[in-house]
Chains A and B, each alone.
Chain A
Amino acid sequence: MLTATDVSFSYTRGRRAAQQVLRGVSFAVERGAIVGLLGPNGSGKTTLVRIVAGMLRPDSGRVTLDGLTVSDMARRELARRVAVVPQETYTTFDFSVIDMVLMGRYPHLGPFELERPADLDIARNALRATGTESLESRPFATLSGGEKQRVIIAAALAQASDMLLLDEPTTALDIGYQFEIAALLKRLNTEHGTTMVVSTHDLNLAAALCSRVVLLKAGSVIAEGPTRDTLTAANIGLLYDVDADVHFHARAGHLMVVPLGRTQ
């Protein structure tokens, strides 16, 4: 469904030397899969997410979605296919939960169009899918961290049921909510077949959620493949300079990473 081919990008600041952030990054995401994007700070993860979301144009290489080049697509068209779930959401004004989810319908409406009953149904379905339908009338600002993220995921579902791009979805949450979101994403993928690309620091989230992982370091892909084969102690050491123990945890039902210390 999503293919990145040899994507390179550098930030240029005036006449100073360009900062090469991505070098020839390639990976693929199949429909219905959950792919994890892992890498330390400065690895280019965020830039890659922004390129996939169409906010940045790669200097070379391309990203295609169902065969169509992302950077050539109209913004609204891309938004109808890919929805982004950011790490945190701050609202300046008092919007209710249903308001926030309805904003996800924006790419499906014209400039003067108001939401129709069908849009409201889609929004409510999205709330139901994320277990937040009882919060519909609550002001968004009064929700807990976990509830907020679930609502934002609902908004993303209302926007584009095809594919979700999640940028550090659990980083700002406490451990309880981390599990809640992880379970939700798993359920959405299982029940609705929603394709997901999850950029994260949380190795265990990746282990629990993702069928494939892409490991990014200093702008290059150092490893890519099924989680079981790619999320190894050796690769983690390469990626984070961290010594870790990786083994299958019977009760959890997936790989668990136990970090032990820095390698040097």
Chain B
Amino acid sequence: MAAVPKILNRIAIVAAIVMATTGGSRANLQVRPELPQRIISLVPATTEMLFVMGAGGRIAGVSDYDRFPADVAKLPKVGGLLDPNVERLISLKPDLVIVYDTQTDLKQQLDRARIPMFRYAHRGLADITQTLRALGERIGNKAAADTAASGIEAQLDAVRARVAGRPKLTTLLVFGRDPGALRHIDASGGIGFLHDVLELAGGTDVLGDLKQQSVDVSTEMVLRRAPQVILELHYGESLTAARVDEERKVWNALPSVPAVKNNQVYLLRGDEFVIPGPRIVIAAERIAQTLHPESFAR
């Protein structure tokens, strides 16, 4: 032992201390990260992004709420935003887990288990393609991801171009309400990816000045704001075809609203309205078509 020079000893001790104190995030220690082959995506949007960049085969698990594409039906489910099944998740031996930025408990547990994470945050329309690109880089599919992102941007631009020059219609973009009644109406208030899609598709958010992600809307507000169009977005099985007409008629209680008067109340069904992923293009096209059908007549 005396043969080891003292200086090397000291270096070794210092190096050990440094490694111990920076050992919090395993990701920092990786000098050459392996390309993840067993990805778990807790966010339906990122699941779709993975598929669209050709990495669908590398997904080891998805959330309970994933429904698209059809292939996800065969994949193991590990919970969702509020209730991730951590044991199941870890048992699948993932090498990358895509988590919501708000899932603090889960992130701590994954840190302790030394599993790498990709943090997803839910923001505006532009963040969809940004996330797509960042994810592509993270998993080593940069080229495919960039191509997909550019494609989405191009399609969105096309929609914007199509309705350019049309007058922007003031729209109440309704995310949800009690079935059968005008109660607990929840609508877009000027912030968020759906608001951005609405603006892109030739509409103006009638509550845009409130600058809120979602607003509790009272009937008095609707009457006062008098939107020209009312767009209700429904996802999953929350609205059956048979009920669409009846649900539309619920708005007849407010006949002075231009949207009601001019029969401009629309109920749109589809998961693309709630998932800020590649299918947002479909959402944009459908909303644009609803607001400005003349631009799509061919």
**Touch between chains A and B, by CB atoms below 8 Å:** no
B residues at A contact (CB < 8 Å): none
A residues at B contact (CB < 8 Å): none
